[in-house]
Amino acid sequence: MEILFTNKVALVTGAGSGLGLGTAKAFAAAGAKVALADIDEGAVKRAAHELTAAGHKAIAIRCDVSKEAEVEAMVEKTIATLGSLDVAYNNAGIQAPVAETADALGEDFDRAIAVNLKGVWNCLKYELRHMREKGSGAIVNCSSQGGLVGTANLGAYVAAKHGVLGLTKSSALEYAARGIRINAICPGVIETPMVSKAIADAPEHMEAIIKAVPIQRVGKEEEIAATVLWLCSPLAGFMVGQAVAPDGGFTAA
């Protein structure tokens, strides 16, 4: 069955590249009007222009999700420009430097939490304020395979991604009876610019993680996008507060 979002409005953060851009394109192809948000204003403007040039309705918004006021403005602009907010993919995130806990820097921990955890909380807060008024909506928060298992030398990142799952479950319970479904996606190693940078920065660390993937390859952006669209669609209507892991079997071990 084809998943369609005709006349729906989708908001995607971290949409300037990688998983966010791939998912924004998928929403647009499925008929949605899409608000693309990213801290990199140039990248997100190019991404939105690509969609509008192809005949889709899309807008670009510069937003640092760690800043609550910017997130509030992002949601307000989405609704003011596109007319509503039906689905959201809270994808924006950063990698943390590879380091043993005893050697890690406090500022790196603070930044990972600010973007990867508080950023999701900020987005949920203002998305839900709109969705609870209209009594419907679907939200997917981006965690990671690192939200389900530990990963040596990535304590800050893993702590933030575990936190996303707790936040997802708690908020899902708050709004399930009010027509809003909230779930999380936990991608494994996916072929994205962020993963490419991680490989360049810590090749031995990343090589070991990739070798441990049972399917013996990295994932593709479109595989994650398809999972997000399914979770936001009526086909996943009984999915509430779940952590779905497209990770090639990594967390099954």
**Domains in the chain, ordered, with CATH?**
9-244 (3.40.50.720)
- pTM of the prediction? 0.95
The 3-class SS string of the chain reads CCCCCCCCEEEEECCCCHHHHHHHHHHHHCCCEEEEEECCHHHHHHHHHHHHHCCCCEEEEECCCCCHHHHHHHHHHHHHHHCCCCEEEECCCCCCCCCCHHHCCHHHHHHHHHHHHHHHHHHHHHHHHHHHHHCCEEEEEECCHHHCCCCCCCHHHHHHHHHHHHHHHHHHHHHHHHCEEEEEECCCCECCHHHHHHHHHCHHHHHHHHHCCCCCCCECHHHHHHHHHHHHCHHHCCCCCCEECCCCCHHHC
pLDDT at 199 (0 to 100): 80
pLDDT at 205 (0 to 100): 78
Q: Catalytic site residue 175? A: no
Residues of the chain with pLDDT under 70: none
pLDDT at 149 (0 to 100): 97
pLDDT at 202 (0 to 100): 80
pLDDT at 8 (0 to 100): 98
